[in-house]
Structure 1
Amino acid sequence: MEGRGFFINVLISNVAGAGDVTAVKVKGTMIGGWLSMARNWGQNWHISADLNGQALSFELTTSDGVTLTSYNVAPKDWEFGRTYIGKQFPF
């Protein structure tokens, strides 16, 4: 995860399956629903949202239509410049 302030950039890697991510959503523990992220370039996805102090979950959709959800990937004290690994993916 990279960024500054309310701008968050996430590099998605090693999705397996089709491997081509076509959509990414993020959800913080203090917000009600999923927020769509925009593709920056390659598999970098970004959003401008205040998600500081919240554990972050991610929902990925791949080019074959499979949706993968990984909860609490980043803990509530996450930091920019760190790598976080989702553990709920079935691959």
Structure 2
Amino acid sequence: MDTNDDHVQYTWNLLHPAGDRIVIDLWTDDESVRVDGGDGESYSGTNARKIVEEQLLPKYADRGYQVESDYLVNDPHDSGVDES
């Protein structure tokens, strides 16, 4: 896995009782997800966080994985649009 995490917004670390690990990264573009381990999925599109929370985390929980840690890595992408 790449050690440069400038593109990562949020990370979930999952652990299986057998010792297997999975890392799920939500990228700062809010549209990309990469899974290191497990089935190695990658997703790109809208609602990427929803895909992680409603599809990937439950899928791996059903396989016995538990979220060991989850944390904010970098701030989400700034589109440059002034929303004030």
Q: Which has the higher helix share?
A: 2
TM-score, with structure 2 as normaliser: 0.28
